Amino acid sequence: MDESAVGPAIAVSHIVRRFGERTVLSDISLTVPRGELFGLLGPSGSGKTTLIKLITGIDRADGGKVELFGQPMPQLKMLQAFGYMAQADALYQELTGKENMAFYGSLYGLTGKALASRIQSCAALVNLNDHLDKSVNAYSGGMKRRLSLAIALLHEPQLLVLDEPTVGIDPVLRKAIWNELRDLTQTGVTIIVTTHVMDEAEKCDRLGLIRDGKLIAVDTPRAIIEQAGVHTIEEAFIALGSGKGEQA
């Protein structure tokens, strides 16, 4: 059997990323199995976005190794394997929501009835069906985030990478989106979510706490809380980041 069909979704080994004299990521190693909802929790500038750019091959590490479904990254053919929702919405403002989705869907080879069906189902997930014919420049910030999420889901990727996906989204829809993410993992989809929202972090199967370019803990939310000897993820992050927690 092909190793890529049974191995982990993501395998990162001792990666380092520098920008000039500044080390943004330092000796990061991480394995994420298929079907896991994995969260990266850390403040702005901690290295979360840089790490997921290395995982998806958008950026290249200065040292170490990155594999996605058993394939070394970066690699052009792996673009079909994942859906990526960046912090900044990459949308064409003068086009409608449907036209944006049709454009990105065509890049993934979707056409005809298959494309139309995916547009409707993904738009329904983020509650945008009634707004698909509006120009994106008339969308609110939250609507643009929802459209970006729908686009990331269009080609039914094996890996979904979401960088701060629920910023600007109202609490009711945010809950619905998280429920859908959980359902997706039940079908074998692997999901990586970056966040600085503590209640979202606790919804993940496992968490990686990242601070100053280093992973300071990787485990289930409950195990991290217990390791730090505190009561919440927020307290655990503070304790482990300052070196006061009980290191495993």
Structure tokens at 205: 């199967």
- Counting every residue written for the chain, the total comes to 248
Q: What is the pLDDT of residue 242?
A: 75
How do residues 177-232 score in pLDDT, each as one tens digit?
A: 888 889 889 999 999 999 888 888 999 999 999 999 999 999 999 999 999 999 99
> CA nearest 15: which of 67, 83, 69?
67
Cα–Cα distance between 178 and 192 in angstroms, integer? Answer: 12
Least confident of 85-89, 132-136, 153-157, 244-248: 244-248
How do residues 68-108 score in pLDDT, each as one tens digit?
A: 999 999 988 898 899 999 888 889 999 999 999 999 999 99
Domain range summary for the chain, segments of one domain joined by +: 3-241
Which of the pair, 182 or 173, is modelled with greater confidence? 182
What's the whole-number average pLDDT of the chain? Answer: 90
Q: What is the pLDDT of residue 241?
A: 81
Which is the CATH superfamily of the domain at 3-241? P-loop containing nucleotide triphosphate hydrolases (3.40.50.300)
Cα–Cα distance between 247 and 11 in angstroms, integer? Answer: 23
